[in-house]
C-alpha cells in the first residue's frame, strides 16, 4: 500500500525524531560515563527504543556516538556519476560530496559531539577508518572507469590504471581529512564549510601533476 504525502511526511519526521533521540542519548551517556562505559543497550534504553531499532539507525554503537560517517552509496549511481562527469577528477569530488554525511554544524548536538570527539581518540579513529574504507572501495570503482574508458586517463609513463585511481582518490580524500581535522582543531563548526575552497586546491594540484607529464 502506497502512503499518501502527509503520511510519508509524518513517518519521515518520526524517523528523524528517533534518530535524534538515539544520538542525544549516546552523546549524553558517553559524556557522563566515558566512551568505554557506554554500551549499545544503555543507549537504546535511554532513547526508549529497542536494541534492534537502534542498530537499524546506527549499525555500530560508535556511529551513534561519533555521528554518521562517510560511506559509499549505490554502486550503479556512483558509476553513473563518474561516467557523466566532465573529468574523472570532478566525478570523484562529486562522489565524495554525495556520500559525505549532511551535518548541521550550528546545532548544540554537534557542538557537544565535537567536544566529545576531541577528548576521545577512539571516536576520531571511527571517522578516519571510515574514510580509509571509503577510499579503498572508491579506488576500485575509479579503476573500473579507467579500464572502461582509457581515454579519460591523464597520467602516462608507465602509471597503471590502479595507480592513477589511487592517486586521484588520495588527493580528494586528503582534502576531506583536512576538513575533519580542521573542524576538530579550530572554531569552525561545519566540517563541510570549506568544501569549495578545498575543491579548488584539488583541481590546481591535479593540473600541476598532469602539466608536469
* pLDDT tens readout for residues 22-65: 999 999 999 999 998 999 999 999 999 999 999 999 988 998 99
Q: How far is CA 28 from the centre of its chain?
A: 23
Residue 2's pLDDT band, with cuts at 50, 70 and 90, is low
Q: Which residues of 162-187 are buried (b: 16+ CB within 10 A; e: fewer)?
A: eebbbbbbebbbbbbeebbeebeeee
Contact 180, 127 (CB under 8 A): yes
For residue 47, the model assigns a pLDDT of 96
**Residue in this structure with the C-alpha cell 566512551, named with its chain if needed:** 35
Residue 151's pLDDT band, with cuts at 50, 70 and 90, is very high
If you average pLDDT over every residue of the chain, what do you get?
A: 83
Residue 136's pLDDT band, with cuts at 50, 70 and 90, is very high
Query: In order of start, what are the domains of the chain with their CATH numbers?
Result: 5-66 (1.10.10.60), 75-211 (1.10.357)
Q: Does 213 score more than 50 pLDDT?
A: no
Instruction: Express each pLDDT in 169-194 by its tens digit.
Output: 998 888 777 777 777 776 555 554 44
The percent of residues above 70 in pLDDT, for the chain, comes to: 81
Residue 77's pLDDT band, with cuts at 50, 70 and 90, is very high
Q: Which of 55-64, 80-89, 201-210 has the lowest mean pLDDT?
A: 201-210
Quick one: which H or E segment has residue 121? Answer: helix 121-148
For residue 13, the model assigns a pLDDT of 86
- Mean per-residue pLDDT, 112-131: 87
Q: Does 195 score more than 80 pLDDT?
A: no
The alpha-carbon radius of gyration of the chain (Å, integer) is 20
d(CA 191, CA 168): 22
For residue 101, the model assigns a pLDDT of 77
- Nearest 5°: the CA angle 32, 35, 37 is 70
Q: Does 211 score more than 60 pLDDT?
A: no
Amino acid at each position: 500500500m502506497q502512503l499518501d504525502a502527509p503520511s510519508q511526511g509524518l513517518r519521515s519526521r518520526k524517523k528523524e525524531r528517533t534518530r535524534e533521540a538515539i544520538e542525544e542519548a549516546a552523546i549524553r551517556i558517553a559524556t557522563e560515563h566515558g566512551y568505554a562505559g557506554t554500551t549499545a543497550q544503555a543507549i537504546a534504553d535511554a532513547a526508549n527504543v529497542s536494541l534492534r531499532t537502534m542498530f537499524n539507525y546506527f549499525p555500530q554503537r560508535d556511529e551513534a556516538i561519533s555521528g554518521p560517517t562517510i560511506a559509499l552509496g549505490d554502486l550503479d549511481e556512483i558509476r553513473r556519476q563518474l561516467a557523466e562527469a566532465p573529468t574523472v577528477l570532478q566525478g570523484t569530488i562529486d562522489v565524495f560530496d554525495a556520500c559525505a554525511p549532511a551535518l548541521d554544524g550550528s546545532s548544540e548536538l554537534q557542538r557537544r559531539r565535537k567536544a566529545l570527539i576531541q577528548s576521545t581518540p577512539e571516536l576520531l579513529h571511527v571517522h578516519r577508518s571510515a574514510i580509509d574504507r571509503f577510499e579503498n572501495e572508491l579506488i576500485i570503482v575509479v579503476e573500473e572507469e579507467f579500464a572502461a574508458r582509457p581515454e579519460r586517463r591523464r597520467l602516462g609513463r608507465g602509471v597503471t590504471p590502479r595507480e592513477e585511481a589511487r592517486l586521484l582518490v588520495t588527493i580528494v580524500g586528503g582534502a576531506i581529512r583536512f576538513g575533519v581535522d580542521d573542524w576538530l582543531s579550530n572554531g569552525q563548526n561545519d566540517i563541510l564549510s570549506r568544501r569549495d575552497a578545498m575543491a579548488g586546491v584539488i583541481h590546481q594540484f591535479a593540473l600541476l601533476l598532469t602539466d608536469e607529464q
